Structure 1
Amino acid sequence: MKINKKNIPVTMEGPGTVMRTIENLGGMSVCFNELPKGTDFTPLLNGLDNNSCHCPHWGYVLSGRLLVKYDDGKEEILSEGDVYYLPNGHTAIVQEDLKVIEFSPSKEFDEVMTHVGKKMAELS
């Protein structure tokens, strides 16, 4: 089974932001995300356990830089060409305009994105 990026539905769009997601592709959600510098997921995760993302992610950075902060206090920078695994218990801040391909378990991803959607509505 395959799908072209152009055929993955846009689930969120805004200034400098395009998020495309297809759920349940073999139990995984596949995302192509373009996010602008300064995007901070931290306030959108408030209210989840430890105020962080409980969904693991596997991905590849096409361009840009992302600061990832883990619940245990560790931090790392993801940048162009990096293949990554983010275990549960993290937040992130975009440091340079970012383009990533990401794979996440659909159940956990949906839980987090439902929460993020509610938070975005509250902050608007």
Structure 2
Amino acid sequence: MKIKKEDITVTMEAPGTIMRAMEGLGGFTVSYHELPEGTDFTPLLKGLANDSCHSPHWGYLFEGAIRAIYDDGKEELIEAGDAFYMPPGHTAIVEKDAKLFDFSPTKELNEVFENINKRIAELS
């Protein structure tokens, strides 16, 4: 099976932001995101355990840079051309406009995005 990023459903769109996701891939969701510099997921994760994302992500960053911050205080900069794994217990800040694919377990990812959507509604 193959799919073009343009054929993945847009789940969120805002100025400079396009988030796409497709479920049903063996219990995983494939996502393609375009995120602007300065995007900080931290406030959107409030209310989850440790106020952090509990879904693991495997991916590839095509453009930009993302700072992953883990519950244990460790940080790492993921840069264009990097394949990555973010284990459960993290947040992320976009350091430079980013384009990436990632793969995440659907159940956990849906729980995280349910919380994100709730937080966005509260902040609006």
Name the TM tier (shorter chain).
over 0.9
Once residues 37 and 4 of structure 2 are traced to their aligned partners in structure 1, the CA distance between those partners, rounded to angstroms, is 26
1:15 maps to which residue? 15
Q: Offset of 1:5 from its aligned partner? A: 1.1
**What letter matches 1:11 in structure 2?**
T
Per the alignment, residue 85 of structure 2 pairs with 85
Q: Which amino acid aligns with 1:87?
A: P
Cα distance in 1 between the residues matched to 2:67 and 2:73: 12
For 1:85 and 1:61, the matched residues in 2 are separated by 11
| 1:75-94 deviation line (CA, Å, top 9, x unaligned) | 00000000000000000000
Q: Deviations over 1:52-86 (max 9, x none)?
A: 00000000000000011000000000000000000
Amino acid at match of 2:92: A
Structure 1's unaligned 5+ residue stretches are none
- The alignment status of 1:74 with 2:59, answered yes or no, reads no
Any gaps of 5 or more consecutive residues in structure 2?
Answer: none
Counterpart of 1:113 in structure 2 is: 113
- CA distance in structure 2 between the partners assigned to 1:7 and 1:86 by the alignment: 25
1:33-44 correspondence to structure 2 within 5 Å: 33-44=33-44
Q: Output the TM-score relative to the length of structure 1.
A: 0.98
Q: Note if 1:60 corresponds to 2:77.
A: no
Amino acid at match of 1:96: K
Separation in 1 of the partners of 2:87 and 2:24? 19
2-side partners of 1:13 and 1:5: how far apart?
A: 15
Task: Give the counterpart letter for 1:113 in structure 2.
Answer: F
* Secondary structure, aligned partner of 2:122: helix
Q: How many residues align?
A: 124
Letter in 2 for 1:5: K
SS in 2 for 1:85: strand
TM-score by length of 2: 0.98
Q: Structure 1 residues 64-73 or 1-10, which shifts more?
A: 1-10
- Cα deviation for residue 98 of structure 1 reads 0.5
